Amino acid sequence: MGYYITVEPGINVYVEDLNPAGHRTILLIHGWPGNHNLFEYQLEQLPKMGYRCVAMDCRGFGLSDKPWSGYDYNRLSDDIRCVVDALKLQNFTLGGHSTGGAICVRYMARHNGYGVSKLALFAAAAPSLIQRPYFPYGLNREAVINIIQGVYTDRPKTLRDFGSMIFHNYVSEPLSDWIFYLGLQAAGWSTAAIANTWLDEEGLFNDLKTIKVPTLILHGINDQVCLFPLAIAQNNSIKNSKLVPFESCGHFLFYDQRERFNEELIKFIEV
């Protein structure tokens, strides 16, 4: 079922809640610039196996409201808390892809992991998507600035260019087109605002160290967006974490290696 949940006065986010009677719950947070539909091949499989799957569109994306502001990790993690409270989620697995993974990390620190029994990070943009003087990994700052400028001048081309970076293995042209159109469903200002957050956000380095729950880190060796050293940094910072490298795999690992992705995630939830 689909719901709209109020996260601020006059601002609502869209949430899909599949198989509410499921024996275990996972809450999925998508990456930039998509929406909950990116998890289609999890949302159609896991409920059949008895899991409750909750997937939200972050503000500014998909079917959620698109306010002018509120795109920093603090506010986005507060939106997750609103969903958790509204649906009364307890003892659930929190899973996030790319920027969604970074938001999940902030949720764990800012809300003390409220309700979360396990954390799963998929090609997460943490601790930093960009290179910094003390963190020589990630994308060049100039590359992100170019993305922001491209969003303001030719957003469709910018999203097409981004789409050329996300896969390592072959996907059909229709599938690539579909993911492109999911990105176009976002507002231009929210798309740019999230990219700006990549530049300014440095708190995830400390946030990672606060995570106490069992954590699964799935990351493609060939990821061109969130480079593999980010996964190593996550694994080194989170005490109770397990890193599973995906060889021959890019940023969208739930498409590049869909079956293995689902297997690893299910195995982790069941342990």
Residues taking part in catalysis = 98, 223, 251
- The edge-to-edge listing of strands for the beta sheet with 51-56 is 2-8, 11-18, 51-56, 24-29, 92-97, 116-122, 215-220, 241-246
Which residues make Cβ contacts (< 8 Å) with residue 53, sequence separation at least 6? 16, 17, 18, 19, 22, 25, 26, 28, 39, 42, 43, 46, 47
Pairwise CA distance, residues 251 & 230, whole Å: 12
CA distances for 102 relative to 14, 86, 222, 225, angstroms: 20, 22, 19, 14
Please give the angle made by the CA atoms of 88, 91 and 97, to the nearest 5 degrees: 90
Give the tokens for residue 176.
């690539």
Give the gyration radius of the chain's Cα atoms: 17
Please state the φ and ψ torsions of residue 110, each to the nearest 5 degrees. Answer: -70, -35
CA atoms within 13 A on the CB side of 50: 5
Pairwise CA distance, residues 213 & 1, whole Å: 29
Torsion of CA 46, 49, 50, 52, to 10 degrees: 0
H-run or E-run covering 204? helix 204-209
Going 107 to 108 to 112 to 115, the CA torsion angle's sign is positive
